[in-house]
Structures are given as structure tokens and as C-alpha cells.
């Protein structure tokens, strides 16, 4: 009965703009029958306790267990996908039906405590995205995966020109207008969080990190070892998309130094080679392509940052 009342209340909020919730919490779920109900109850308890109006949207991503039934029984609004399509697709489906000006995403496996949501919501007054930072220890992350996460975070931070303490945390708060402009770029797989981080940082939007405790998940992780290489490729691709000079300038510099060094050696032996000339010409070509790509990015790809925020 309680679940039916909660579901009815969510539908009323969606139908009447005057009763619009302050935050929509989107929870993607794939075979999470062991934790999804507890996650929903935790979110509801924390936001009700803080007096924050909300709607809870669970996206059942083609689960083969009782995830759908348990989410419905817990009173969440459920988007049921008939086939498994990926973490990112689930989030985009939940975002599409959400109604609030603030959007939170939270995993259904019990790893991210909902108790941080009220503080993160308050932080959106100064930020376009607030990320739950699991910290350097990440006690809930298997030891074998930590080196890969460290390499990925630091590579992305170097290329984006920002310190990124947690690149793919699954606990985030967004301002709707900041998030929606990037939805066409967001992939259907696990790289959703990596992509939105790089999109926002590379576009000059304000991103803050809130340290959180990261719990031990209920059930089994859906990540695979090969996903690390997919993430690395994604980081380079998005850097070329938003900040092309961060790739083209160093690559051109390497070619220039190789060609220049070979040219000096060739002059010393009085025999200028094609290798030196090709190295120098390759550097000039890469720099020219980088400048053109950067001009295109500035004109067409970078959305404007918010101007209504107080100065830092």
C-alpha cells in the first residue's frame, strides 16, 4: 500500500508543474534484486528527512531477476527496458522522463550512501555538477582494479587540464540545463560518467567533488578488464573533441624534436636526409590541424558556462 501511494505521488508531481519536485533521482538497475529496494528506501528516507521534494526513477535494464518487481513494490517510478542496453542508456532513459531542475544519479547496488544527497543538492547552488568522490582508498573497489583507476584518472586530468579525483563515480548531482546539452554525446555503456566529466570540465562548467564513503556492493560487478582500454580511448577521443590542442601540440612537438635532432645530425655529417624533412613537415601539419580543430571546437562545440553563479 505504501509503495502504491509513493508511486501515485510521483505521477501527480509529474502531471502538475506547480508541484514539480526539487530533484529527480535516477537509479539504473540490472539484476540488482538484492539491493534495489533498500536503495530506494534509503534515498526516500534521506530526502524526506531533509525536507526535499523528489521523485525516484528506477530504470530496469532488462533484468532477468526480480529487480523490476522489487523496485515497483518499493514505490519508485519504474522505466522498464525489455532488453539490456547498458548503463548509459538506462541513465538517459531515466533523465528523459525526469521532471525536476536537479538530477541525481545513484547506483542500485548499495555502494553509494544516499545520506550525501542533501549536501550535494545544496552544492549545486554553486556548481553545474557535484560528484561523490570515493577518495584514494576506495575501500569498496577491488585491489586489482585500483591501479587502472589511478592511471585513468590521472591521464584524464592531464588531458582535460583539471584535477580529477574520481573520474567515474556513480553518485552525481547535475543542474538539468548543464546536463541536457551533452546528452547527444553520452554513450550507452559504462563510459557515461567518464564522458560527462570530461564534457563539463572541458567546457568550462563548474564541477566540485564531495568526499564520500564507498561501500561494498551487493551482488557482482558488471565491469570487465577490457573496459579500461575502452575508457582510455574515450578520454583521448573526447580530448580531441573538446581540447584538440592538448593532443596535437605535444604530438607535433615530438615530431619536431625528432626531425630537428635528425637534421642537426645530418648537417654535421653534411647529408640532409628525407627523415629530418618529413619530421619537421609532419610537426607543422599536426600543429595546423590542431589549430583548425581548436577553432571548430570553440565555434561549434563548447557550450557557454553559467554566468549566474557567484564568484569563487
Is residue 307 in some structural domain? no
Strand duo 54-61 + 77-81: pairing: parallel
Tally of structural domains, the chain:
2
Judgement on whether residues 230 and 130 belong to the same structural domain of the protein: yes
Q: Is the dihedral of CA 120, 124, 125, 127 positive or negative?
A: positive
pLDDT, mean over the chain: 81
Tens of pLDDT, residue by residue over 136-157, are: 545 555 555 566 666 666 676 6
Tens of pLDDT, residue by residue over 84-101, are: 988 999 999 999 999 999
CA distance readout (Å), 60 to 63, 79, 102, 156 = 6, 6, 21, 30
Judgement on whether residues 250 and 231 belong to the same structural domain of the protein: no
Judgement on whether residues 120 and 266 belong to the same structural domain of the protein: no
Q: Which residues pair with 59 in a beta bridge?
A: 28, 79
Closest to 254 measured CA to CA, from 294, 228, 305, 290: 290
Q: Which of 16-20, 119-123, 125-129 has the lowest mean pLDDT?
A: 16-20
Judgement on whether residues 226 and 258 belong to the same structural domain of the protein: no
If one compares 81 and 165, the residue with the highest pLDDT of the two is 81
From 220, 240, 260, give the residue that closes a domain: 240
Judgement on whether residues 19 and 70 belong to the same structural domain of the protein: yes
Is residue 146 in some structural domain? yes
Residue for grid cell 538497475? 29
Percent of the chain at pLDDT exceeding 90: 42
SS3 content of the chain, % helix, strand, coil (to 5): 55, 10, 35
Is residue 306 in some structural domain? no
**Which one of 14-18, 72-76, 272-276, 300-304 scores highest in mean pLDDT?**
72-76
Judgement on whether residues 115 and 229 belong to the same structural domain of the protein: yes
Judgement on whether residues 12 and 112 belong to the same structural domain of the protein: yes
If one compares 190 and 201, the residue with the highest pLDDT of the two is 201
Question: What is the pLDDT, as a whole number, of residue 224?
Answer: 57
Question: What is the pLDDT, as a whole number, of residue 15?
Answer: 40
Predicted model pTM? 0.71
From 218, 240, 262, give the residue that closes a domain: 240
Is residue 257 in some structural domain? yes
Judgement on whether residues 85 and 102 belong to the same structural domain of the protein: yes
Judgement on whether residues 167 and 56 belong to the same structural domain of the protein: yes
Is residue 251 in some structural domain? yes
Closest to 160 measured CA to CA, from 127, 190, 197, 131: 197
Is residue 100 in some structural domain? yes
Is residue 309 in some structural domain? no
Q: Could you tell me the CATH number of the domain that includes residue 130?
A: 3.90.550.10
Closest to 246 measured CA to CA, from 279, 207, 286, 280: 286
Question: What is the pLDDT, as a whole number, of residue 55?
Answer: 97
CA angle 306/311/312 to nearest 5° reads 110
Judgement on whether residues 276 and 148 belong to the same structural domain of the protein: no
> 255-263 contacts: CB < 8 A, separation 24 or more?
255/279, 255/280, 255/282, 255/283, 255/286, 256/280, 256/283, 259/283
Judgement on whether residues 280 and 177 belong to the same structural domain of the protein: no
Q: Which residues pair with 211 in a beta bridge?
A: 133
Separation of alpha carbons 194 and 216, rounded Å: 21
Tens of pLDDT, residue by residue over 43-81, are: 999 999 999 999 999 999 999 999 999 999 999 999 999
Full domain range(s) for residue 282: 245-301
Question: What is the pLDDT, as a whole number, of residue 226?
Answer: 60
Judgement on whether residues 210 and 252 belong to the same structural domain of the protein: no
Amino acid at each position: 500500500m505504501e509503495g502504491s501511494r509513493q508511486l501515485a505521488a510521483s505521477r501527480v508531481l509529474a502531471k502538475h508543474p506547480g508541484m514539480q519536485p526539487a530533484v529527480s533521482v535516477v537509479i539504473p538497475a540490472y539484476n540488482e534484486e538484492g539491493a534495489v529496494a533498500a536503495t530506494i528506501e534509503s534515498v526516500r528516507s534521506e530526502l524526506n528527512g531533509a525536507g526535499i521534494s523528489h521523485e525516484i526513477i528506477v530504470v530496469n535494464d532488462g533484468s532477468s531477476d526480480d529487480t523490476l518487481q522489487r523496485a515497483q513494490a518499493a514505490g519508485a517510478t519504474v522505466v522498464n527496458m525489455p532488453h539490456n542496453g547498458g548503463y548509459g542508456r538506462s541513465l538517459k532513459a531515466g533523465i528523459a522522463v525526469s521532471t525536476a531542475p536537479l538530477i541525481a544519479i545513484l547506483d542500485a547496488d548499495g555502494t553509494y550512501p544516499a545520506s550525501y544527497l542533501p549536501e550535494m543538492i545544496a552544492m549545486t547552488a554553486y556548481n553545474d555538477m557535484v560528484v561523490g568522490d570515493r577518495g584514494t582508498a576506495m575501500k569498496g573497489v577491488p585491489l586489482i582494479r585500483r591501479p587502472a583507476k589511478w592511471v585513468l584518472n590521472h591521464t584524464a586530468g592531464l588531458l582535460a587540464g583539471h584535477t580529477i579525483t574520481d573520474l567515474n563515480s556513480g553518485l552525481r548531482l547535475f543542474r538539468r540545463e548543464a546536463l541536457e546539452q551533452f546528452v547527444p554525446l553520452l554513450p550507452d555503456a559504462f563510459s557515461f560518467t567518464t564522458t560527462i566529466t570530461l564534457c563539463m570540465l572541458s567546457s568550462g562548467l563548474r564541477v566540485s567533488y564531495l568526499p564520500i564513503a564507498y561501500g561494498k556492493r551487493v551482488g557482482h560487478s558488471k565491469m570487465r578488464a577490457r573496459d579500461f582500454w575502452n575508457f582510455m580511448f574515450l578520454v583521448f577521443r573526447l580530448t580531441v573533441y573538446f581540447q584538440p590542442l592538448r593532443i596535437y601540440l605535444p604530438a607535433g612537438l615530438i615530431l619536431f624534436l625528432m626531425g630537428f635532432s635528425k637534421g642537426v645530425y645530418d648537417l654535421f655529417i653534411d647529408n640532409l636526409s628525407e627523415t629530418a624533412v618529413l619530421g619537421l613537415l609532419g610537426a607543422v601539419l599536426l600543429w595546423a590541424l590542431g589549430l583548425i580543430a581548436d577553432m571548430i571546437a570553440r565555434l561549434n562545440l563548447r557550450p557557454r558556462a553559467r554566468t549566474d553563479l557567484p564568484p569563487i
